[in-house]
Amino acid sequence: MSEHAGTTTQPSPPPAAGAATGRAWVMLIMATLGFALNFWAWALLSPLGPLWRDDGTLGNITEGDVALLVAVPVIVGSLGRIVVGALTDKHGGRLMFPVVSLATIVPVLVIGFWAQSSLIAILVTGFFLGIGGTAFAIGVPFVNAWFPPHQRGLAIGVFGAGMGGTAISALTTVPLYESNQSLPFVLTSVFLAIYAVLAWLIMRDAPGRTAPTGSLVSRVVANSRLSITWLLSFLYAVAFGGYVAFSVYLPSYLKVAYELDPADASNRMAGFVVVAVICRPIGGWLADKFGAIAVLASCFALVAVGASVASFTPILEHVGTAAFLGMAAALGAGSGATFALIAKVTEPGRVGGVTGIVGAAGGLGGFLPPLLMGYIYGRTDSYGWGLLLLAITAVVALILTVTIVRQKQAAPAS
């Protein structure tokens, strides 16, 4: 690979060619737990936004205010991955997991005991709550360094299943809040504090890890100059961004398009999330077995077909359900396969930095589609065109995967 400012002076030696050690699996479990807990904290505002709008806790706020309240942590958590990924390359996951977990406790407790007094206070505190969303960029390089190349797809996929922390928030936040307005925030903080201590005591960076040279800025710039970084960013924006978009917007879509009651729509959304979370490690495992390119191509093809079918608003039972669950499986598996590919085309000392940029693209990729779907529905009284745009985007991702990305995998020098 060509030299750029901020590369490692010598790459970390790869793990042994055999199977991962028991210690590696312990590290994976700890990283996945940290990811899930920080994502739980990161997603605390999403279930509460509509509740605060309806009960007047934050005053007379609009649906647009609720969207902004939910979006601020998402944007900060996504963009923050760029910096945190680069810091992880430099300082290692053993330090960064406890630091991010402890830092996330502060805004969580501020919201729990003070910031619920006004929308401005929630927005300001929600900005710092976004720190929890950066945990993803810590775990990928940390886990990658502990596992041999032929197991990295599975390992990173298992770690990625920690995104199910958002489901914990969706299922528990409102019931806990209705019991006591501070309870969900206190409980989350306690778990984060316990995890931070255990992470410091148990976690260790992989033997032979070499910290990169150069400043943080120079390394971020160097990673952003790699064309493979932006190609993978687009693929992940489609795969993980699609998952995020559906997990946020699917209840609204189902209520309008199929006239479901809110509880039924939420339960179906939960099913979508569970399928995607389960399929993420499966996608990584399949990438180890058959290659990431083949898995990604299959996933994008399935998304294109599913979105095309859904665009006609077919009967929900059987046809519509199959279309959406098929897309859930493909988006989850595609997310896992994308990071299996990162491990194969990126220097060990760059994995964190590249992961940060790609992870940011995935988070932001989930921010735009709900806004676009709402805009299109407002103009056409139909979600069909929005779903067709998803199908077209998936086809573009499929073409890029089997052409340019395949070539870059064969010669990952730029």
Sign of CA dihedral 413, 222, 145, 192: negative
Instruction: Give the span between the Cα atoms of 379 and 64, in whole angstroms.
Output: 17
In tens, the pLDDT along 103-137 reads 999 999 999 999 988 899 999 999 999 999 999 99
Q: What pLDDT does residue 369 have? A: 83
Instruction: Give the span between the Cα atoms of 329 and 276, in whole angstroms.
Output: 5
What value does the mean pLDDT of the chain take?
Answer: 88
Q: How far is CA 198 from the centre of its chain?
A: 24
With CA atoms as reference, report the closest residue to 292 among 356, 366, 232.
232
Instruction: Give the span between the Cα atoms of 382 and 374, in whole angstroms.
Output: 10
Buried/exposed code over 89-127 (b: 16+ C-beta within 10 A; e: otherwise) = bbebbbbbbbbbbbbbbebbbbbbeebbeebeebbebbe
Contacts of residue 244, Cβ cutoff 8 Å, sequence gap at least 6: 74, 362, 363, 365, 366, 367
Q: Is 6 exposed, middle or buried (0-12, 13-18, 19+ CB in 10 A)?
A: buried
The domain 215-414 is placed in CATH, from the list 2.60.40.10, 3.30.365.10, 1.10.10.10, 1.20.1250.20, at 1.20.1250.20
3-state secondary structure of 86: helix
Lowest mean pLDDT of 12-16, 381-385, 399-403, name the range. Answer: 12-16
DSSP secondary structure letters along 371-402: HHHHHHHHHHS-SHHHHHHHHHHHHHHHHHII
Confidence of residue 16 (pLDDT cuts 50, 70, 90): very low
Mean pLDDT confidence for 276-290:
93
Q: How far is CA 23 from the centre of its chain?
A: 25
With CA atoms as reference, report the closest residue to 1 among 321, 252, 344, 266.
344
Look up residue 357 and give its two tokens: 């940029």
Does 215-414 match 21-206 at the fold level?
Answer: yes
Q: Is 354 exposed, middle or buried (0-12, 13-18, 19+ CB in 10 A)?
A: buried
Model confidence at 323: pLDDT above 90: yes
With CA atoms as reference, report the closest residue to 336 among 55, 132, 32.
32
**Side chain identity, residue 372:** L
Does this model's pTM top 0.85? no
Confidence of residue 371 (pLDDT cuts 50, 70, 90): confident
Q: What pLDDT does residue 115 have? A: 92
Instruction: Give the span between the Cα atoms of 93 and 205, in whole angstroms.
Output: 6
Q: What pLDDT does residue 7 have? A: 40
Residue 18 carries which DSSP code? Answer: S
Buried/exposed code over 382-401 (b: 16+ C-beta within 10 A; e: otherwise) = ebbebbbbbbebbbebbebb
Task: Give percent of the chain with pLDDT exceeding 70.
Answer: 94
Which CATH architecture is the domain 21-206 placed in?
Up-down Bundle (1.20)
Confidence of residue 19 (pLDDT cuts 50, 70, 90): low
DSSP secondary structure letters along 236-253: HHHHHHHHHHHHHHHHHH
Domain locations in the chain? Answer: 21-206, 215-414
Instruction: Give the span between the Cα atoms of 381 and 341, in whole angstroms.
Output: 40
